[in-house]
Amino acid sequence: MEHSAEIDKLAAALAKAQAQMGGAIRDSSNPFFHSKYADLQSVWDACRKPLTDNGLCVVQSPGSEDSRIVVETMLLHESGQWMRGVIGVTPKDAGPQAAGSCITYLKRYALQSFAGIAPEDDDGNAAEGKSKAPVAKAAPEALPPVALPPLKKASELTLTEAQQTRLKALMKEHGVKASAVKALVEQTYSIKTAADIRQASYDDLCAWVAGVGDGHE
């Protein structure tokens, strides 16, 4: 994650906004797993007014990097202070529907992360080409490899306690064991323990855990 030289005013405003936010309502259906989830509109409904009332706004810009669809999210404060991050996935094919599904999926997860809204059940199956029929859960060793982007040099900070707690909650929710995440980050970033995970890779790891876990239920 990158940010302006000063973020004191942004941080203070975001803290007030988060105190006013409720949870996103699960008002959309996932036909693949017969579950409810909070769609992008519900997430916006939960955070738009608290953000606006405290001089904050969010700008999300989709783009592409090679074969990946990416979304850059910026959290802006009226003072000019800002924070931004990028998250990306590889669509199931080159069609516009797959690209659109990926963009919506990434915008929802990024918005939840920046606003601090609790994530709901995943609906990223259209973006990643999941089968409509539920499949048996595989052992962590059998999970498919995922090409995460190179570690960003903008931040060498490791995950905060809050980020670690949310990542563990996502792993439990989607049935992904710690050994799978540990193997992924060791292979991708050449680090020895999961405790060395950098903040720059946090959003991509969360999306991977949600997508891989839902794909093996």
**Tokens 């706004």 appear where?**
57
87, 85, 75: which is closest to 17 by C-alpha?
A: 75
Rounded to 10 deg, the angle between the 96-115 and 40-53 helix axes is 40
Which H or E run contains 197?
none
With the C-alpha atoms ordered 149, 154, 159, 160, is the resulting torsion angle positive or negative?
negative
pLDDT for position 76: 96
pLDDT at 136: 53
Q: Is the dihedral of CA 180, 40, 70, 84 positive or negative?
A: negative
Single-letter amino acid, residue 4: S
- What confidence score (pLDDT) does residue 153 get? 46
Whole-angstrom Cα distance, residue 12 to residue 5? 15
Residue 147: what pLDDT?
59
Q: 14 with 75: CB under 8 angstroms?
A: yes
- 61-73 pLDDT per residue, tens: 999 888 899 999 9
* Cα dist from 136 to 131, 141, 175, 207, 215, whole Å: 12, 14, 12, 21, 9
Question: Domain residues of the chain, as ranges?
Answer: 1-134, 135-217
pLDDT tens digits, one per residue of 159-215: 777 778 888 888 887 788 888 777 777 777 677 666 677 777 777 777 777 776 544
User: In Å, what is the CA distance from 2 to each residue of 84, 86, 210?
Assistant: 5, 9, 24
Per-residue pLDDT of 77-135, as tens digits, reads 999 999 999 999 988 888 888 888 889 888 888 888 888 887 544 445 545 555 445 55
Q: Decide: pTM greater than 0.85.
A: no
